[in-house]
Structure 1
Amino acid sequence: MSRILRWRWTFFLTGLMICALGISMTIKGQRFGIGPWDVFHVGLYKNFGLTIGTWSIITGLFIVLCTALVLKEWPKLGTWLNMILLGFFIDLFNWILPDFESFSAQLIVFIVGIIILSFGIGVYVSPNMGAGPRDSLMLIFVEKFGIGIKTVRTTIEVVVAILGWLLGGPVGIGTVFIALFIGQIVHYSLPLSRKLLLRVIGEEDDSVLYNFIPAKSSATNK
């Protein structure tokens, strides 16, 4: 494996861990509500047991299989790793992090969690190793029906938030905030993460992040 590819995988896996930490922190501050998909996962957890991370994996697997049938191709390795590792890390951090009872503590952990989650999205997306299952679902609707990304994303998140709420998941002002504004934070965290990755691998042209096999030979990357 080339040096460039190693760094791309490092950013991808590190970003997933950071994302999971941010998600777990918002769950610990769920008095204010959590992200739409997490509302759905928590609702499933409350009604059917297992763990929140397990339901994240099961939901992701269902989406991956559906998108594979529609596109008639298997997703990238990064999509599978996203599905599995994100759920695993969510459960890990939910177990490590303490519960917060006071209003102020939950508010702080919730706000910090959103910032960490947004930063993590930028880090894991920057190496372009494969979209997450839910992002792949969004792109299918965009490509097949010609609907705008914002419209599709908002519609999907509203639907899953309502389903999660009906299952007893925590919906609040924080759910609306995450749905509407987390993309605005990622708008800044993604280019910063990509710039950092390019600096680490010693490249200026970001085209190396869009090829699974780097343009340079392995001999020049040792």
Structure 2
Amino acid sequence: MRKEWILRWSFFVFGLIILAFGIALTIEGKVVGIGPWDVFHYGMFLKLGLTIGSWSIIIGFLLLTFASIATKKLPKIGAFLNMLLLGLFIDFFMWLLPSINSLIGAIFYFILGVVLIGYGIGIYVSADLGSGPRDSIMILIVDKTGWSIQWVRNGMEVLVLILGWALGGPVGIGTVIIAFLLGPIVGFSLPQCKTLLKYMLEKKEHKKLAA
């Protein structure tokens, strides 16, 4: 059991690292456009200072608090760590990545970033240790209203996109591409990551029994 939890937490943290790296890449290539939530975080950064990762943490904390009050349940440790670690990793990679001044470089960063975001989500979600703050709110709204997940998620992303754009966040064709392309990438990566995790867990179990 202990080894299983170590493996699951390893997937969880590694997935968040990959996700944050992908987000940082798209932000560095912002001339193409970035994801709706990142538009919002970037807009808050422009208007009020702090860092993009800090705003990711702050907004995530507010969403978790609201979800906890509405459900009268404390968030899972995975949801809290998702909120905290993702913001820290985003700021780290924003500091680490070299700036780019060409459209070709921005497009390269964007494409690589979107793929990594999709796989980062697949890896951390496959660990099954709790959804992030934004997904927690989405699930809460679905449970309370009975609306479809797709409509609720799209509605949330349109709302934060409008808010972020009003604050001056970078919106471009890439923003639309992320909105439509990310779902299929996650739909492809998540089963792969679940299969890999299952294989590694079974392999460890077989070694344990053989010993």
Distance 2:170 2:103 in 1: 15
Q: Give 1:121 shift.
A: 0.4
Which residue identity does 1:102 align to in structure 2? S
Distance 1:54 1:82 in 2: 13
Query: Partner of 1:21 in structure 2?
Result: 21
Q: Give 1:32 shift.
A: 1.1
Distance 2:202 2:3 in 1: 10
Query: Partner of 2:184 in structure 1?
Result: 184
Distance 1:83 1:139 in 2: 16
Name structure 2 gaps, 5 residues minimum. Answer: none
Q: How many residues align?
A: 208
Give the 3-state SS of the residue equivalent to 2:37 in structure 1: helix
Query: Partner of 1:92 in structure 2?
Result: 92
Per-residue deviation, residues 92-149 of structure 1 (Å, max 9, x unmatched): 0000001111010100110010001101000000010000000000001111000001
Which residue identity does 1:16 align to in structure 2? L
TM-score, structure 2 as length reference: 0.95
Query: Partner of 1:43 in structure 2?
Result: 43
Q: Give 1:200 shift.
A: 1.1
Which residue identity does 1:4 align to in structure 2? E
Per-residue deviation, residues 174-203 of structure 1 (Å, max 9, x unmatched): 111111220110001001001111111116
Query: Partner of 1:71 in structure 2?
Result: 71
Distance 2:20 2:27 in 1: 10
Shift >2 Å, 4+ stretches: none
Distance 1:2 1:194 in 2: 19
Which residue identity does 1:107 align to in structure 2? I
TM-score, structure 1 as length reference: 0.91
Query: Partner of 1:118 in structure 2?
Result: 118
RMSD (CA atoms): 1.6
